[in-house]
Amino acid sequence: MFQADPNNFRELRTTNRPDIILRMTRNDDTGEVFVGSSDAKVYQVDPMVEQPEFLAMEGHTSYVMGLVDTGQYIVSGSYDKSLIWWNKETKQQVRRIEMAHDRWIRNLTTTPDNKFVLSVADDMVCKIWDAETGDLVRTLDSHIKVTEHGFPNMLYAVAVSPDGKLIATVDRIAKIKLWDFETGKELKELEAPKCYTWDPKARIHSIGGIRSVTFSPDSTKIAVGGIGQIGNVDHLAAAGRVELFEVASGEKIHMFEGDDKHKGLVEQIIFHPSGKWLIAVGGDHGGWVQFLDVEKKEVVKQLKAPMHVHQMVVTADFKMAFGVGHNRLAVWSFEPEELMEEKTEEAGS
């Protein structure tokens, strides 16, 4: 099996775009890639080609903030509050749930078996949908809707544990809720308060929140990402921050923080299948990719990305990574450069 090494991670190419690409999904079986955009469209794209063509799927009226591949369908969620099921072949809408949430949809995920789609929105509920029928199965509702300072709370992200037993939801005020998937019962609440900055004096509003969440491959740990405490809330002026918790005890294992050259939000966290290290991506006006070693408890590598990265997907063999973000799509490789050169020569001979 290929052993991915962060030291070999490098950018292969980028594609410029006029829009902001916010979400991405890739089917490991078929290699199909779909992206969601600030222009309200979903696109199918092949990032492996030199000049990718973007095939538009129109139906939303605002930013596409959630995008998952259930195997049979692509499902997208938007700030327009709707969910759309798409036929991957015809690119046509199969189903549309107009008011899936009362407020803006922030993200989607699926269960490991792809039988359910989960959506989170600023109505502060997580909804579990039957991926096949679109039926609403359950609603998880206990995040507070208004902060103690009287402002709307925001529900940014959701994850399902690889064993399918747990759901995690994360919000603006840095609360993490763990739920039992089968019963919908809230199991515990964790928090990462440094990820939320409330400025009571200089500017009298807030910034931050937990923007990303994921479980370790063995479902025993949960990682959340955001940004540290900020002095000037006009800007994303603090280092990206990842906090790692033990699921069973709820104890915080470690906090990872990048250096001053890598400020901004952690938009997504991806565990390596070994569970020994993880990738954090995000940014402020610029973007970055960080590698965090769970055993050493340190940031082992940080590098600039060609844009603020909103989402990354890594192939199952961990040889390639694809990222989307501000005005760009990017492709990275974990394969050593000399190996890539050999492959190119073989292909040419």
Partner 1 sequence: MSVNTDRRRFLGGAAAAGVAASSMNLDVLKAESLSNELKKSGKRVLLLWLAGGASQLETWDPKPGRLTGGPYQAIQTSLPGVQISELMPKMATRLHNTAIIRSLNTQIGDHGGGARLMHLGRRDEPNLKYPDMGSVLARELGRPDLQVPDYVSFYTATEGRGNAVGQPGFLGARYAPMFLTTDNKPANLSRLEDITDLDHKERADLRDLLSNRFAKGRVSESLGSHNVAYGRVRGLMSSEKLFDLSDEPQKVKDRYGKSLFAQQALVARRLIEAGTPFVKVARAWWDSHGQNFETHLELVTELDHVMSTLLEDLEERGLLEDTLVVTLAEFGRTPTINASLGRDHFARAWSASLTGCGIKGGTVFGATDEDGQHVKDNEIGAAEMFATIYKAVGIDPHHEYFVGSRPIPLVDPGTHAVAEVLA
- Residue 235 or residue 296: which is nearer to partner 1 going by CB? 235
Name the helix (H) or strand (E) containing 204.
Answer: none
Does residue 61 bind partner 1 (CB under 8 A)?
yes
- Residue 4 or residue 324: which is nearer to partner 1 going by CB? 324
Does residue 42 bind partner 1 (CB under 8 A)?
no
Does residue 283 bind partner 1 (CB under 8 A)?
yes
Closest distance to partner 1 from the beta carbon of 88 (Å): 26
Q: Of these, 84, 307, 313, 324, which contacts partner 1 (CB under 8 A)? A: 307
| Token output for 32 | 């199909």
Amino acid found at 133: T
- Residue 73 or residue 104: which is nearer to partner 1 going by CB? 104
Name the helix (H) or strand (E) containing 342.
Answer: helix 337-348
Closest distance to partner 1 from the beta carbon of 229 (Å): 14
Map the footprint of partner 1 across residues 262-281, applying CB under 8 A: 264
With contact defined as beta carbons under 8 Å apart, do 160 and 166 qualify? yes
Does residue 151 bind partner 1 (CB under 8 A)?
yes
With contact defined as beta carbons under 8 Å apart, do 261 and 302 qualify? yes
Among 16-24, 90-98, 129-137, 160-168, which window interacts with partner 1 (CB under 8 A)?
Answer: 16-24
Closest distance to partner 1 from the beta carbon of 145 (Å): 12
Interface pattern 63-92 for partner 1 (x via CB under 8 A): x---------------xx------------
With contact defined as beta carbons under 8 Å apart, do 131 and 115 qualify? yes
Closest distance to partner 1 from the beta carbon of 175 (Å): 16
Sequential DSSP letters for 216-237: -TTSSEEEEEEE---S-TTS--
| Token output for 204 | 């009298």
Q: In what order do the strands lie in the sheet with 64-69?
A: 64-69, 73-78, 83-87, 93-97
- Residue 70 or residue 206: which is nearer to partner 1 going by CB? 206
Closest distance to partner 1 from the beta carbon of 237 (Å): 8
Does residue 284 bind partner 1 (CB under 8 A)?
yes
- Residue 62 or residue 87: which is nearer to partner 1 going by CB? 62
Within 10 angstroms of residue 3's Cβ, the number of other Cβ atoms is: 9
Between the alpha carbon of residue 96 and those of residues 27, 66, 99, 129, 310, the distances in Å are 22, 14, 9, 13, 25
The span from the CA of 226 to the CA of 211, in Å, is: 5
Closest distance to partner 1 from the beta carbon of 19 (Å): 6
Q: Of these, 3, 16, 18, 346, which contacts partner 1 (CB under 8 A)? A: 18
Closest distance to partner 1 from the beta carbon of 211 (Å): 10
Kindly determine how many residues on this chain lie close enough to bind partner 1 according to the rule CB under 8 A.
Answer: 43
Map the footprint of partner 1 across residues 172-211, applying CB under 8 A: 172, 201-207, 209
Q: In what order do the strands lie in the sheet with 175-180?
A: 155-160, 166-171, 175-180, 186-191
Does residue 104 bind partner 1 (CB under 8 A)?
yes
Alpha helices in 31-148 (DSSP H): none
Contacts of 134 (CB under 8 A, 6+ apart): 83, 85, 95, 97
The residue written with tokens 């902001």 in the block is 20
Closest distance to partner 1 from the beta carbon of 152 (Å): 6
Which residues contribute to the site for partner 1 (CB under 8 A)?
18-20, 38-40, 61-63, 79-80, 104, 122, 149-152, 154, 172, 201-207, 209, 233-237, 264, 283-287, 307-308, 325-327
